Chains A and B, each alone.
Chain A
Amino acid sequence: MTALHQATEVVDPVPGASAPHLPQQPDLIQLLTPEGERVGHPDYPLDLSDDELRALYRDLALIRRWDVEATALQRQGELGIWASLLGQEAAQIGAGRAMRPGDMAFPTYREHGVAWARGVDPLQVMSLFRGVDNGGWDPAKLGFNLYTIVIGSQCLHATGYAMGMQRDGAENAVLAFLGDGATSQGEVNEAMIFAASFAAPVVFFCQNNQYAISVPLERQSRVPLYQRAAGFGFPGVRVDGNDVLAVLAVTRAALAAAREGQGPTFIEAFTYRMGAHTTSDDPTRYRLASELEEWKLRDPIARVKAYLARSGIADHAFFDSVDAEGDELAARIRTGTLDMPDPAPTEMFDHVFAEQTPELAAQRAQFVKYRASFEGGGH
């Protein structure tokens, strides 16, 4: 054993963070227990109609069905890769549904649930993972930026966008998505400094899913993540990320505060990535099966279903209809993905600049000529 390894192993665990993978954490805001029991919280009252509650269940179930289909399509060779959101449905739907039309979301590459909530067609996400484009949706129209793959970079874009809203006098706010790993990035910390200094209307929504690919949270932070916010000078709050009601209530409150000029909030949605980082990953190499079993008991969808059924808000017919809708959605996603045309070869030249350069135009022309030199103009 090297000295470095020894040194790592003798470090005392941080008090209160000794078992960070287990959900028994202090200050965890919850409105719906894992068993499906509705509980109150003095700071986060939430009054939803039965329709709204059923709609949340539908969102959760449909994005999971989409996710399952996408994973299957990747396994069948139809997607280059897929970043599964399995286990994070409540965090994403709660956050996405807390937003208003004029608000703007800045996602990473796993926010399919938020994309759904913002009205992005799933096929426009699938086209990215199939390698057709980098995401086909219109960010300004939907209030949902394109996926940003460099970890944490989008937090600065979110902050700058919020500074723009301030200058416009807009009564809107920005929701910046990041993960636990991203909190180690310099750019994320710079974003929080800019946001605090200018009191920008931005909410940092951190899905702490416990792992940055294989590296557990303890390597990113020696304190619970939500406590980081205090050092930047704005509130930090930890919410049960598997509780869609709590996430909705907490995110709504933070966005409202931002819209009212109270500046940023950091939300730590405490959750768990139940699947692999992506379809290229093998989580059995770095985490115990027992840990996953523990989190399965806290599934974000099962608790909503239990609550709806037990309280009589939804019946079998409703759940069956959502299942059927999910199968239809999955079929549409499958067919749509398989039918997706490849982009035209010249497309790679077309949007490098708003004003094409003569150099690139010449390269493009040469490329066209080269391709045409083959018999029949094909490959």
Chain B
Amino acid sequence: MKRLNSLLLLGALGLFTTACESDDPIDQPTTPEDTGITMALKTTGGDESEFIIIQENIMEGEITAQGTGIEQTGWRFYYPVGNTLFASGYSEDNMATAYVKNDEGEIVESGKFTFENALEMFGHSNDGETLLAMEIPRTGYGDRKLYFVDENTVQVEKIVSTQIYASETEEKVAWPTALEVRGNHLFIPFHKMDPQGHFTTPSPDSAFVAVYSFPDVEEEPIKIISDPRTGNIGVNGATTGLIEADNGDLYSFSSGAVMAGFSPASTKPSGILMIPNGETEFDPNYFFNVEKATGGEKLFWFDYVGGDKAIARLLTHDDGAAWGAFGRETFNQRLVILDLEAKTVTPVSNVPLHAKRYSSPVYVEDGKVYLSIETATEAFVYQVDVESATATKGAEIQGKTIKGFFKL
């Protein structure tokens, strides 16, 4: 991911011009496709260029950026709100661009805005009109900045500054792992992290969620709730630390794994907590101990797929390197369907163990989820039938991964 420091700056500003250039994407249409699925494709080689591409059939053939797709500059987060896809960059290209599908079925740019460093956490209002995005200082006790961006006009309407949580005496700050709106509340689960920028997790043995009023988010949360039954909620880079079920219950996942970036690891089991609809406290009677249910596996990612079910990736072991789940050294991620109410874990059949570092929120259509599954030597689209927990192997990905599937 992105690192900013003076040394690299010297390199970048000095004799060495890297291939990382800035860019304003151009308002040019891609190939018209009426019914296609929009994808954020990360290619292999060199700077791993990323492209937004649209393709009708993603279950056969291949998915490639050869001669097609809207070129992105540098690493991008992709987050959909309503019918708009936001692609947001890092400091090499500190801007976000919004894309929509026009009447001809083409993906076109609908606006852009800039920010200072990087927006690293995303959410949206329940009416689908507002993107929520948070800029998070990597060091120090400064404010986290919550951007409110109109989905239609792509104008930043306001920025609210909040620390979420900070303690200078304990030397801890908050790193948010979801921006989840429900009713008139905004829930922000977070890691307690060192302020030096080492991304260590000095309080790994509790779950924390800051609760704000919404839409009038104040500088201070209404309260911070915590729960000692499991570790910090969420994983760096994933926007789905907290998800909302059909009935309005909120479910969080806690990993605590070294491979997922925890340092030290949590001594508490990896599992799922619930904040019931209408309430702003964890349900003391609900805990889905996933680690126990799987005989020792830890959650790395989950997302809501309907019917009180979540799709999840479990780390079959936690013996890899620190942050190893973000790399391609260890292929130990197992795809499962979690029944949040029944607290069951069902493996998704026909999917190999894999590694996957970043996902936009999943796209679900007719009870089917599309995922990018990458093994040591190949990358394929898989369509997962939630009900039967079976997967069908689809098109081959000519690249490293598809970061997200979207229907605009």
Q: Do A and B come from one complex?
A: no
